[in-house]
Amino acid sequence: MQVFTQQRLADTPDEIWLVQHPPVFTLGRNGKMEHVLAPGDIPVIPIDRGGQVTYHGPGQLVVYMLLDIRRKALGVRELVTAIEQSVIDLLAHYGITALGDRDAPGVYVAGRKIAALGLRISKGCTYHGLSLNVAMDLEPFQRINPCGYAGLQVTQCADLGIEQTPEALAHELCESLAQRLHYPTLVWSLDQT
């Protein structure tokens, strides 16, 4: 992501990368180790996104957004709101009411976090992005203060009755992101690297 962003030109197309990670805790640039309570055998990796600590693992959809927000004439708050609203729209399609939180970016269902955001902006371009809990082991979230909030509970799509795989929801979420961010078309490619 860093290399892609550093090497971008004014006409480089924006990209969205969809991945699942092996179990890992990531600690944002201003993250505090005091929020990592008991990592056990799960590695803690400092990274250059915003935010505190979060967990990534199998069954979670991670969406890396490599966007030129200057070209799109998007402010950071507008971008965060559009990303949150894309997840809210996706969940609404399944009859789930969700909300964003201006003071604690992410998407929440009945006070439980289902999607976390952590972005980095360099030269008007974003990288890192969004994680959506789909059908995963949520236990590792108990080993941290998710996003720096002690006692914050998390949830996932499977626990809300959404019986889709991360891959299936990826397509729906990307369509929602494209609509909210005003991209007229999506071009899909598969890269297994």
Query: Contacts for 152-156 with beta carbons within 8 Å, 24 or more apart?
Result: 152/113, 153/111, 153/112, 153/113, 154/112, 154/113, 154/114, 155/109, 155/110, 155/112, 155/113, 155/114, 156/59, 156/60, 156/114
Binding-site residues for substrate, in ranges, read: 49-56, 116-118, 129-131
pLDDT tops 70 at residue 193? no
- The band of 111, judged by pLDDT with boundaries at 50, 70 and 90, is very high
- Tell me the domain boundaries of the chain: 2-180
CATH C-level class of 2-180: alpha beta
The predicted structure's pLDDT at residue 192: 59
Positions annotated as catalytic residues are 147
- The band of 187, judged by pLDDT with boundaries at 50, 70 and 90, is confident
